[in-house]
Structure 1
Amino acid sequence: MPDTIRLDAADTVVTAIRALEAGHPVEDTATTGLIPSGHKIATRAHRSGEPIRKYAQIIGYAATDIAPGDHVHTHNVEFRNTDADYEFGTDLRPVAPASGDTFMGYQRENGKVGTRNYIAIVTSVNCSATAARQIAAHFTAERLAAYPNVDGVVAFVHGTGCGMAGDGEGFEALQRVMWGYAKHPNHAGVLMVGLGCEMNQIDWLLDAYGLKQGPLFQTMNIQNVAGLRRTIEMGIAKVEAMLPLANAATRTPCPASALKVALQCGGSDAWSGITANPALGYACDLLVAQGGTGVLAETPEIYGAEHLLTRRAATPEVGEKLVSLIRWWEDYTARNRGSMDNNPSPGNKAGGLTTILEKSLGAAAKGGTTPLTGVYKYAEEVRATGFTFMDSPGYDPASVTGQIAGGCNLVCFTTGRGSAFGSKPAPTIKVATNTEMFTRMTEDMDVNAGEMLTGGVTLEEKGRELYDLFLRVASGEMSKSEAQGLGDYEFVPWQIGATM
């Protein structure tokens, strides 16, 4: 097994596969100091200000002169905002023909397909969070034993809904999240719980989206019901009435085209863009070939790689929408006195990632190679099939909340440092980027993409393994995060705008 990996002949750095001592031979040079595993080594001299390349792309600029064999990281690399000349539709690759794959899902009346069968308690405001949690808590495993087709009763609560403007980006995003969860195919029934005087009025949502109350969709406000205790009692009664109806749903064969998978990463390291993310990208290509949909998100984490995605835009309009998101984020961070390079996190940097440009080039690999067919606002319903993109922050819970609201019925989450994340109602599959972390956190990780480095497994083999797991988990097999009960506290709508 080699000690380093070179990703492209044009790269000016290589990555250490294991920790290397000073003086260790590396290509035509030798290390000038200790190099941690996953970190970069210069293979040629860089003068101060000269670009540093990995993935055949610029990941930063030398902050000082860098000698061959030097450790290349935050101490000698500087970040600069991107200044790309965007091309649209210049890298459109044909999609492979479908082979008619299926999974066992829940066919809903509106034509959507669920991979799980929950009853959801959705709150409009933080003030109704306790009521929602206590309603859901009543439905223990013992009480649900009589309803084997119901996966659970889940409270989706958040810390906003009031003290905000009644229009604009923040309000509209929250309304889209509520609508998306109210209509999600993984929910057999929904109870919406509000306070009554909040800015985010449930009735406004019903009017805006044409939602109609019925046996499996109910609403209530604490103030109208006359208090917390009575609200909890009434909420329990409403859910009890839904349970027999929800339990009547059964799994039937459904086409793989009905799968909409959130492509997500968190706790990334240098191996994310080399093992797990490309494997997920290959799995995404297999899904798209079936007519399914992959939804990439985390706009700050494609920054510096967006020019590669615009080349895959199916139309110029799709590409322009992506560029407009990048410009919005540059303005958003600037007016809040931040930087796009505030991401990567300290953990990402410890794992070998130096700048957001490097992180983004690896993160974008989750989207595979097929055409980019649509770009969506945060929590907007994803209507296009194929490979798509949704605007979101890089904060994993907020990003996944938006993807699920957009209709994702499955989540695939790659991680290098080890992320304890799960989601409801769409289950999360976790992919480790390296064998060491997979072994240490085997109870949390579903797939070890580190075998691509340490076990001789090919990209195609690992991507196929992931795709096959999509179908099994969609059919009811529990992912490891799901089995541990994760997902009750990961509902985090993105708060945009001022809190008043």
Structure 2
Amino acid sequence: MQKKLIKVNSSDNVAVALVNLKAGELIPFEGETIAVETDVKAKHKIAMNPFDIGDRIIMYGVLVGKASARIEKGGLLSTLNVKHESDKVTGKTETIGWTVPNVDKWKNRTFQGYHREDGQVGTENVWLFFPLVFCENRNIEILKDIFEKELLKQKVNDYQLLLRSLVSTESGVAGDDLKSNNSDLFKNIEVKFITHQGGCGGIRQDSHSLAKLLAGYVNNPNVAGATVLSLGCQNLQIQIFKDALDEINPTSTKPVLIYDQQQIGTIEAMLSSVVKDSFEAIKKANQIERTPAPLSKLKIGLECGGSDGFSGISANPTLGVTSDMLTALGGTTILSEFPELCGVEQELVNRCVEDEGGKRFLELMQWYEKTVVDAGSGFDMNPSPGNIKDGLITDAMKSAGAAKKGGTSPIVGVSDYGEYISKPGLNLLCTPGNDVECTTAMVGSGANMVLFTTGLGTPTGNPIAPVIKVSSNTELAKKMSDIIDIDTGGIITGEKSIDEMADEMLEFIINVASGTIKTKAAILNQNDFIPWKRGVSL
């Protein structure tokens, strides 16, 4: 028989409804009987004791709010009777130990990856096209049309005829006789395209930040090389981009083709050169093949979006155990979304290996919150209408569940937005909570895969890194089966344990990293890319 209530932490004074509850229902729970005051939908919280105005509400063992109205025992917690509140943190208070999980059965496992000269290993092999400034977006779109549509033999323009002749020469087949799909010719390489609205206007810091992000994409192990378009007069000058590349990896030999339209002249002259040069570079990158790599070469971003009241007790804890296993194997995981770490700062600071890391984390959190407050908002406005509807009624409550993605392992480093992560282990990365901005940032910091939990459903993907979508409940997995890769709903029903789901997840990760399974986001060609304009987004 399925349980009706669950307390996440023994010190909690609220419980989560695992099923819909009716007013007047009597529920045996932890040695007492809880009389349900009003109808309570699954995923929402009920009081385990009476609350007066100002009383502290504890969930996940931390303060997640205060009562703003009287709440009876067995009563429903809602935005009408609870307000956001979190404990203030000033520094490290203790060092939290870590029980390293037993990963013996995974130690000799490998994935089939693309090895780079700098020692990184990609789960994909991508040739990436992108602009340094939005003025070049149209030319990127033209190139996208040329490369994607010509290889699929759809409509034809002069540039496609040029590429067709190159493909024909390479394949030894007349252009009109080419197959509708040239997968045999380019079986080891994908061609992807990025556009954005940055690179000029705004403030100069925006362009420098974008340069670091784009340099991170080029340095990401999933990228074999890149074609970069510049107008010439923009804030994000070519030299700024090159400096960002050198800062990340000064000895990189990865091919990067850069074109300056104002120096070249006509669009025709530039695009003709781009097509010819890029084709030759793509042809060479296609020679790279998958070979075995240890799991320590996985660098995985941990993300949640469209969260619900089950996310923090099924999907996110499963990611947490998976993260712990990967770090025990020498791999790298990235926990970000700083607005969604509000309220759990003390635990995270105490888990930092270096005191300087804890200090930097608090400084970044304080800076971020101040910029949001100065803009007339606050972290308390982070939960979306969908979050609230499904039981996440305060930011601290949402944050406490979101932080479970980071497991229990020590935090080896704290990085700001745009910084490239190189330390194995669990890292914190300053990003917004916005799904696409956060995913974009983690991949720019080196993630070669992303684990993405959702309770409500979101199609988010990425141009260069596989995004594995994990549902917190089975209803969602069935309803939106075209976007969900893994269902952790069995944890809610009691059919599976978190450890069992983590084992399944790691096996799935290995298959995706090896190219034997394609994620739903990739099948949908969901290639989302949004840079963060600092301080403007939650």
Q: Same fold (TM over 0.5)?
A: yes
The residue identity in structure 2 corresponding to 1:7 is V
- Verify: 1:204 aligned to 2:212, yes or no: no
Residue 133 of structure 1, CA deviation: 2.0
Task: Indicate yes or no: 2:415 matched with 1:376.
Answer: yes
Q: Which residue type is aligned with residue 464 of structure 1?
A: D
Segment drifting more, 18-27 vs 381-390:
18-27
User: Is 1:61 aligned to residue 66 of structure 2?
Assistant: yes
Give the CA deviation at 1:85.
4.8
Contact 1:88 1:315 in 2 (8 A): no
Shift of 1:5: 1.4
Q: Does 1:394 align with 2:402?
A: no
Tell me how far 1:495 sits from its aligned partner: 1.2
What amino acid is aligned across from residue 116 of structure 1 in structure 2? E
Tell me which moved more, 183-192 or 258-267. Answer: 183-192
For 1:187, the aligned partner's letter is: V
Shift, 1:185, TM fit? 1.3
426, 429, 437: which one aligns with 2:465: 426
Quote how far apart the aligned CAs of 1:243 are: 2.0
Q: How does 1:18-417 map onto structure 2 within 5 Å? A: 18-26=19-27, 27=29, 28-80=33-85, 82-87=87-92, 90-96=95-101, 99-140=107-148, 141-142=151-152, 144-166=182-204, 168=205, 170-210=206-246, 216-417=255-456
Q: Tell whether the 8 Å contact from 2:63 to 2:87 is kept in structure 1 after alignment.
A: no
Pair member with larger Rg: 2
- TM-score, length-normalised on structure 2? 0.88
Contact conserved, 1:104 with 1:253, CA < 8 A, in 2? yes
**Cα distance in 2, alignment partners of residues 278 and 122 from structure 1:** 36
CA distance in 1, matches of 2:15, 2:533: 39
Fraction of identical pairs, as percent: 33
Q: Aligned residue for 1:480?
A: 520
Deviates more, 1:127-136 or 1:214-223: 214-223
1:154 and 1:349 map into 2 onto residues whose CA distance is 36
Deviations, residues 352-371 of structure 1 (Å, cap 9, x unaligned): 10111001110111011110
CA distance 1:497–1:309, shift in 2 (3 Å)? closer
1:192-232 per-position Cα deviation (integer Å, ceiling 9, x unaligned) = 11111110112222145337998932001222222334433
Q: How far has the Cα of 1:390 moved from its partner? A: 0.4
Change (3 A) 1:440 1:156: same
Structure 1 residue 471 and structure 2 residue 510: aligned? yes
Preserved contact between residue 444 and residue 480 of structure 1 (Cα < 8 Å): yes
- Tell me how far 1:137 sits from its aligned partner: 2.3
Letter in 2 for 1:238: D
Q: How many residues align?
A: 494
- CA–CA separation in structure 2 for the residues paired with 1:215 and 1:464: 35
Contact 2:211 2:244 in 1 (8 A): no
Greater mean alpha carbon deviation, residues 17-26 or residues 261-270: 17-26
Q: Aligned to 1:38, what secondary structure does the other structure show?
A: coil
Report the Cα offset of residue 7 of structure 1.
Answer: 1.7
Give me the whole-angstrom Cα distance separating, in 1, the residues matched to 2:266 and 2:100.
56
Q: Report how far residue 467 of structure 1 moved.
A: 1.1
Asked whether the 8 Å contact 2:118–2:252 carries over to 1, the reply is no
Contact 2:193 2:463 in 1 (8 A): no
Query: What is the one-letter code of the residue matched to 2:303?
Result: Q
| d(CA) in 1 for partners of 2:95, 2:211 | 36
Q: In the alignment, which residue of structure 1 is the partner of 2:529?
A: 491
C-alpha separation between the residues in 2 aligned to 1:497 and 1:341? Answer: 15
Which sections of structure 1, spanning at least 5 residues, go unmatched?
A: none
CA contact (8 A) 1:122 1:182 kept: no
Q: Which sits farther off after the overlay, 230-239 or 241-250?
A: 230-239
1:456, CA displacement in angstroms? 1.5
Aligned mate of 2:477, from 435, 438, 450? 438
